[in-house]
Chain A
Amino acid sequence: MADILGVPVQVLMGQLLIGLINGSFYAVLSLGLAVIFGLLNIVNFAHGAQYMLGAFAAWFLLNKLGINYWGALILAPLMVGAFGVVIERFLLRRLAGVDHLYGLLLTFGLALILEGTFVHTFGASGQPYAAPAQLTGGINLGFMFLPWYRAWVVAASLFVCLGTWLLIERTKFGAYLRAGTENPRLLQAFGVNVPLLITIAYGYGVALAAFAGVLAAPIFQVSPLMGSNLIIVVFAVVVIGGMGSIAGSILTGLAMGVVEGLTKVFWPEASATVIFVVMAIVLVLRPAGLFGKQA
């Protein structure tokens, strides 16, 4: 078996696949952030907490109401998205038109409150959540054992990412949303309810975070801090892709998952920092990000 830099090709193939799986989490999360930033101009620091809420919603639905994983996949994003709508309607809207920093502080504070409340209530170790029976086990690909659940994660993420991209770039509703970002006053003059559009956009971004949370629940412990460990990386992904770029965030998410996966093989100690190194390089060479419009 051939080696690349002392690592067998088989191992490398496995790591590439793992990278893609993790990358699909990054893609869904950074997509939500990109939607929110692109349409509301808000840096949503509560995104990690909303991802965590999605996972906890799934846990709650299963253990308290007996609703299984498939139900949770639909219901949890709706519940958390509705929570996002409330936040937008009563808090974020008051910050429209003021400096970015206020939105950032508000959402960061919200994240801290949510995580603190959940640590206090559930403890930091988290709760177990089993994968649905249909997706337990896996397949031996020859170079690695692929659990069915991970394969499902990639498929579901790509489906949702593609759907979101089509919705925003290819439908009339998406055209309104994009117009709303460019020139909200003009759009309003055409009789479109722009504040409602913004509320829906935020709710949708939050629902995406919750969707990723439900996908993550069977893989990681459902724990209050699961989002804060991930969110910083996701922010780096969004910056690399170009703030607000929909396609950019999806592609960068997948690519960064792979970059991180490979680093875990060659230099595991650096795997926590490699994405930030990439971010620094991108910011120097292309300040608007790989897919961002150059200012």
Chain B
Amino acid sequence: MKVLKSLALGASALAFSVGAAQAQFSGDAVKIGILTDMSATYSDVAGPGTVAAAEMAIADFGGKVGNAKIELKVADHQNKADIAANKAREWADVDGVDVFAELVTTSVALAVNEVAVQKNKISLITGSASSDITGKACTPNSVHYVYNTRAMAVGTGTAVVKEGGATWFFLTANYAFGENLERDVTKIVQAAGGKVLGSAKHPFPASDFSSFILQAQASGAKVIGLANAGADTTNAIKAAHEFGVVAAGQKVAGLLVFISDIHSLGLNVAKGLQLTTGFYWDRDEDSRAWSKRFFAKTGKMPTMVQAGTYSAVTHYLNAVKALGTDDTAKVMAKMKETPVNDFFAKGGIIRADGGMIHDMYLAEVKKPEESKGPWDYYKILRTIPAEEAYGSLSDSACPLLKK
């Protein structure tokens, strides 16, 4: 009996060790490559803050999954798609990177997604906005995590039209992202009975917006929609403020505004602005707790991109840990079958088109007298349910769904 028991024990130990030996990590490590804008327009939205967030995620795993070390690589893509794609290829071929993460700037995300498919890697997009990433340009290897242009359009567009903003004029950044954002908002505005009177496509980046603001004023539209981001948005808001646009009865709608933009504008200029966000640090206990850790590390509260990067990297590492492998197809399947439940999102689901859909928030920027101090900037007006924000899967333009 005793012999039998020890035999059984030995057999199971053997089985276990075989199982462990089968755990497969390419290059004996899990390698995460962050491609971001470290020094230009989007470096406050993403940049060093996302690197810090990824470092926190890795540290929370103790730097290891099973026996495999987690390695982090970082490169500055300078918002140029060709630089990003070349770096991604190099990382895949030479360094054995398993997953490309963050990818702020839509053109970058689209280019790196192609590399990910060619090299059979995963891309976790937390920085870019275009709804095309899960639409006509969707891939089986990508996850689009934090927000997209459609969700922004639904949140801010619907709210503004409801309040009587029936006619729109767009100031649009002249590249893929700006055009997608304008297109998505236009759909929402028209569906809600509004009208688009025109748009000015400004160079990216532009410094002086007074000329465009004047065109928007002349159009007579009730709402000036800013289909741009980063410094372009803040400079446009400043110019609108200076030229008395708001005082004259027009409304400015920032279609992609980050908390870092509000911080840099100051509440005096930004007050009353409505915006849609995928994350706000002061939402609940969990988000506050994590954000305070982030603040202790970086001295800033996280943008939704930075918080989302922590969440996405953690979700990826959890899948790798559960499976004991970093095999692309298996990890993708595991990530898609596991809901995301953390400080960032509750009940988030990665759909077949690669979109991680989760509740979004319509926020209004507080007046200076309502704010208790730095970073106390938003009033959450409404929670936008995931399905409403991201649309139903049956409407998706993703070719993967139409086999």
The interface of chain A, by Cβ under 8 A from chain B, is 8, 10-11, 14-15, 18-19, 21-22, 116, 119, 123-128, 130-131, 137-138, 144-145, 147, 149-150, 219-221, 223, 225-226, 229-230, 261, 264-265, 268-269, 271-272
Contact = CB atoms under 8 A, between A and B. Distances in A.
B39 A138 contact: no
Contacts of A268: 174, 200-203, 212
Contact of B244 (A8, A130, A138, A269): A138
B118 interface: no
A274 to B, nearest CB: 10
Interface stretch (B94-102, B227-235, B359-367): B227-235
B183 interface: no
B210 A18 contact: yes
Contact of A125 (B44, B206, B243, B244): B44
B266 A229 contact: no
B210 A221 contact: no
Contacts of A137: 244
B264 A125 contact: yes
B261 interface: yes
Given A11-B215, A138-B243, A220-B238, A272 B206 contact: yes
Contacts of A11: 214-215, 218
B234 A221 contact: yes
Interface string B196-215: 00001111011110111011
Contacts of A19: 211
Interface string B228-261: 0011001100110011100010000000000011
Interface of B: 39-44, 47, 174, 200-203, 205-208, 210-212, 214-215, 217-218, 230-231, 234-235, 238-239, 242-244, 248, 260-261, 263-266, 268-269, 300
Given A147-B242, A268-B202, A223 B231 contact: yes
Given A219-B238, A269-B174, A272-B206, A125 B211 contact: no
A270 to B, nearest CB: 9
B205 A125 contact: no
Contact of A265 (B215, B248, B268, B269): B215
A22 B238 CA distance: 16
Contacts of B231: 124-126, 221, 223, 225
B182 to A, nearest CB: 13
A102 to B, nearest CB: 25
B348 to A, nearest CB: 28
Contact of B235 (A22, A145, A221): A221
Nearest to A123: B44
Nearest to B266: A128
B217 to A, nearest CB: 8
B39 A125 contact: no
A11 B212 CA distance: 11
A145 B47 CA distance: 38
Contacts of B300: 123
Contact of A14 (B39, B205, B218, B230): B218
For the complex of A and B, 9 pairs with smallest distance between CB atoms: A272-B203, A125-B264, A128-B266, A264-B211, A125-B44, A124-B43, A123-B44, A11-B218, A268-B200
A264 B200 contact: yes
B242 to A, nearest CB: 5
A125 B243 CA distance: 21
Contacts of A149: 242
23 contacts: A8-B218, A22-B210, A116-B39, A124-B40, A124-B43, A124-B231, A125-B260, A128-B264, A137-B244, A138-B244, A147-B243, A147-B244, A219-B239, A221-B234, A221-B235, A225-B41, A230-B207, A265-B211, A268-B174, A268-B201, A268-B202, A269-B174, A269-B201
Contacts of A225: 40-41, 231
Contacts of A261: 211
A119 B244 contact: no
A28 to B, nearest CB: 15
A149 B243 CA distance: 10
Contact of A18 (B42, B214, B230, B266): B214
A268 to B, nearest CB: 5
A149 B43 CA distance: 30
Contacts of A144: 214, 217
A243 B266 CA distance: 40
Contacts of B242: 131, 138, 147, 149-150, 219
A221 B243 CA distance: 16
Nearest to B202: A268
Nearest to A261: B211
A124 B9 CA distance: 60
Given A124-B39, A124-B42, A145-B217, 5 more contacts: A119-B39, A147-B244, A150-B242, A219-B208, A229-B207
A132 B248 CA distance: 22
Contacts of A265: 211, 215
B234 A145 contact: no
Contact of A10 (B40, B218, B268): B218
A272 B201 CA distance: 11
B201 A125 contact: no
A140 to B, nearest CB: 9
B41 A220 contact: no
Nearest to B214: A14
Contacts of B235: 220-221
Contacts of B211: 15, 18-19, 22, 261, 264-265, 271
A110 B230 CA distance: 26
B37 to A, nearest CB: 8
